[in-house]
Amino acid sequence: MQSKFGLKDFVLLVAILLVGVLALLTMRQGDRTWERLNANDAKLGEIDSGLARMQRQLDSMDFGEQLEGISEQLSSGVVVQGNAPGGAGSPGAPVSGSLDWTRPGVEVSTTGDWALNNDPFDDEDMRTGGQFIETFEGQPPKITPYLYADVYGRRISDRVFEGLGSYDAETLKLRGRLAEAWQYDPDGMWLRVKIRDRARFSDGAPVTAEDVRWTYQELIFNPEIEAERFRSVYNAIESIEVISDKVVEFTFKEPRFDNMSQAFGYVIVPKHVYQPWVESPAAFNRSTGLAVGSGPFKLERVSMDDQWSPPDDIVLVRNDLYWGDRPAVDSIRYKVISDGLARLTDYSNGGSDMMRANAIQFTSKDEDESFKERHDLRYWFNMQGGYSFIGWQCGPRNGEKLTPFHDVRVRRAMTMIIDRDRIRRDISKNLARPATGPFLSSTPQANPEIEPWPHDPERAKELLAEAGWIDRDGDNVLENDRGDEFTFEITFGNGSEGTLRMVTYIKDACAGVGIRCELRPIDWSVLASILNNRDFDAITFAWSASAPESDPRQIWHSKSIPNQGDNFIQWASDDADRLIEEGRRTLDDEARMKVWHQLHSVFHAEQPYTFLSEIPWLRFTTKRVRNLNEYSKGLVHEEFWLAPSGGSSAMPN
């Protein structure tokens, strides 16, 4: 007898294994069904309790009293300022029950109801439901408010959270969002805000004054929370006092133009949800997806043990308890594809509804008729676009050697050497707009009278000669009176083909007038230390903004030179310092804009940066996305609705 492991045994063994695996898989399947069942149950319970709560609210509402409040207000002659388009006085929007929360003698302002600029429910053929899918280029590590550090985190935050106020998408004026009405001290030292009675978080709890205070003082300014990025931004507020359940008062450190936008800007989190989490700061700092707010969208599962974490897609679902205009789509899904080619392939395969395009993709698809049949190519300028520039080192590089650019004539000459129109034409494919200063031309901050410097190498040569840079030994390179050659390095982030082509062009243009320009590509992670050490002659990148009116102090004031401030070009101008301080102190909008216009002229004359272009937003969207409006604020996802697939489907084949 010989025991032998033959083919038969093998087949048997494989069969047994297969049965085992199948049994395991079936068990897994049962688990999944069970999980989904549970999730559905939970959702049903939530809807049920939400309904009950609303019923109770309806029952307890006393319409008579509210109406009385309005008439009382009208007869008492209180000035109610409304500056929103069609805001104040729209039906069903009582401004306020009574005004007993106010400080006497100070004007009460309001912008009426918070409403979408283009409500999707106004479209006749509008359909609700569906999932809008957007592609991100990078993976956001976390979306927990005040812990996120990138633009993706902010985009999620914009959907899930609300501040007291928000910029109007079209006019870019600050409007009350959670705030119903407010009083702002004419001297700019305090702000008293009445929160809307209707405003509530996605769990149904009302937004209270205590939430507003707690978010600022116990979350953002809690040193155990890693919110240092936000602590250094929201620094205008001295203290916050809770006056009553719905009334809160801010006290500011000094009268500053952006006091209001700071108090209105930070997003409010529900204290009752976040307080237990913040109790264990280490776990909170580590969290990835603890986002619960009052916004029109919400995350489905949010708890310490069960939260969104990378690399899952981020799915925001409609907040059915939202107090304002409800969005039309059921959910938004954000997925991440970091490889450019894969992103475009996935998009054109119908994998998503919107992707960010670069200039080359945009222009090549612009000629592709079959692509244009199925997709919209969108291209517009908005406040988040920002501008690109070349910064000239006006102080000593590395704290050692002064660069030629400390001389304003040299800087002006450099601007005139570089043909910015050509850069825009050849590299940005005519999609960008000329920039003349740090204020975007669409904002009131910009001085409309300023024309960009012309491209004029001859005049540039004259200016350089005036500054002492002449070709003294006939080698086609300029020298100063000490015989030093005019050489400089231009620092740029590697990885972008467009930037590489631009700096190569600049090198050529400089050679044409006798300046040696060397290229110095760097890794983005090194940028911060190069800026901190002021270790560059010239540098090019782009600034972006998140508010329509920017505070020029951070980048341009001479006080931002020390302490590794953001004035990394070390440009000090008494005129600019004076205007910046004056502008920051001026509370009146019109007067302040005049100051900013003057400041803009100073930038133009001094050319601390050579302003290259304003950067547009380029987006591909599928035809099924409707009511997508290209606002000067950016995009408002709440307004989108999705046409049913069929007639103009996202899916080819």
CA distance 13 to 223: 61
6 binds another protein (CB under 8 A): no
State which of residues 542, 578, 598, 649 lies at the interface with another protein (CB under 8 A). 542
- Please count the CA atoms within 13 angstroms of the CA of 350 that sit on its side-chain side: 10
**Cβ of 310: how many Cβ atoms within 10 Å?**
14
497 is a contact residue toward another protein (CB under 8 A):
no
Q: What is the DSSP letter of 616?
A: P
Least Cα distance to 219 among 266, 157, 155 occurs for 266
41: left (phi > 0), else alpha (psi -120 to 50), else beta? alpha
Q: Which stretch binds another protein (CB under 8 A): 75-83, 159-167, 540-548, 635-643?
A: 540-548
Residues 6+ apart with CB under 8 A from 264: 163, 164, 165, 166, 174, 176, 177, 179
Please tell me whether residue 20 binds another protein under the rule CB under 8 A.
Answer: no
- Tell me which long-range contacts 273-278 makes (C-beta under 8 A, separation of at least 24): 273/201, 273/203, 274/214, 274/215, 274/219, 275/214, 275/218, 277/304, 278/218, 278/219, 278/222, 278/225
**330 touching another protein, by CB under 8 A:** no
- Residue 26 binds to another protein (criterion: CB under 8 A): yes
Distance CA 601, CA 594 (A): 11
Q: By CB under 8 A, tell whether 33 contacts another protein.
A: yes
Minimum distance of another protein from residue 563's CB (angstroms): 4
Residues of span 380-409 touching another protein by CB under 8 A? 386, 398-400
Regarding 18 and contact with another protein (CB under 8 A), the answer is: no
Work out whether 519 is an interface residue with another protein (CB under 8 A).
no
Is residue 542 within 8 A of residue 555, CB to CB? The reply is no
Among 339, 473, 575, 589, contact with another protein (rule: CB under 8 A): 339
Strand runs (DSSP E) across 82-178, as ranges? 108-109, 131-136, 165-167, 174-176
535 interacts with another protein by CB under 8 A: yes
**Angle of helix 359-366 versus helix 497-513 axis, rounded to 10:** 100
Whole-angstrom distance, CA of residue 175 vs CA of residue 403: 46
User: What six digits make up the tokens of 446?
Assistant: 């910009």
Site for another protein in 184-223 (CB under 8 A): 222-223
- Which CB atom, from 550 or from 622, has the smaller least distance to another protein? 550
Q: Is there binding between residue 71 and another protein (CB under 8 A)?
A: no
Among 16, 32, 402, 508, binds another protein (CB under 8 A): 32
If the CB atoms of residues 111 and 388 are measured against another protein, the closer one turns out to be 388
Helix H or strand E segment including 610: strand 609-614
Give yes or no for a contact between 347 and 621, defined as CB atoms under 8 angstroms apart. Answer: no
Indicate whether 524 belongs to the interface with another protein (CB under 8 A).
yes
Is 543 a binding residue for another protein by CB under 8 A? The answer is yes
CB of 147: closest distance to another protein in angstroms? 7
Of 171-179, 415-423, 534-542, 572-580, which part binds another protein (CB under 8 A)?
534-542
When asked if residue 262 is in the footprint of another protein (CB under 8 A), the reply is: no
- Considering only residues 91, 311, 646, 647, which one is a binding residue for another protein as defined by CB under 8 A? 311
Q: In this chain, which stretch among 172-180, 282-290, 411-419, 481-489 interacts with another protein, using CB under 8 A?
A: 282-290
Q: Could you tell me which of 123, 130, 95 has the C-alpha nearest to residue 109? A: 95
Closer residue to another protein, CB minimum distance, 288 or 487? 288
For position 504 contacting another protein by CB under 8 A, the verdict is no
Applying CB under 8 A, the span of 31-39, 96-104, 175-183, 208-216 interacting with another protein comes to 31-39
Beta strands in 382-537 (DSSP E): 387-392, 396-397, 401-402, 433-434, 487-493, 516-522
310 belongs to the binding site for another protein (CB under 8 A):
yes
Q: Applying CB under 8 A, which part among 75-83, 88-96, 483-491, 551-559 lies near another protein?
A: 551-559
Looking at the Cβ atoms of 141 and 444, the one nearer to another protein is: 141
Q: Which residue of 333, 520, 578, 626 would you call a contact of another protein, by CB under 8 A?
A: 333
- Shortest spacing between CB 429 and another protein, in angstroms: 17
Count residues contacting another protein (CB under 8 A)?
91
Give whichever of 426 and 566 is closer to another protein, judged by the CB atom. Answer: 566
Q: Pick the binder of another protein from 44, 283, 591, 605 (CB under 8 A).
A: 283
Give the three-state DSSP class for 637: helix
Closest to 103 (Cα-Cα) out of 249, 252, 263 = 249
Q: CB of 620: closest distance to another protein in angstroms?
A: 13
By CB under 8 A, what part of segment 142-161 binds another protein?
Answer: 142, 147, 149-151
Q: Under a CB-based contact definition with an 8 Å cutoff, are residues 238 and 251 in contact? A: yes
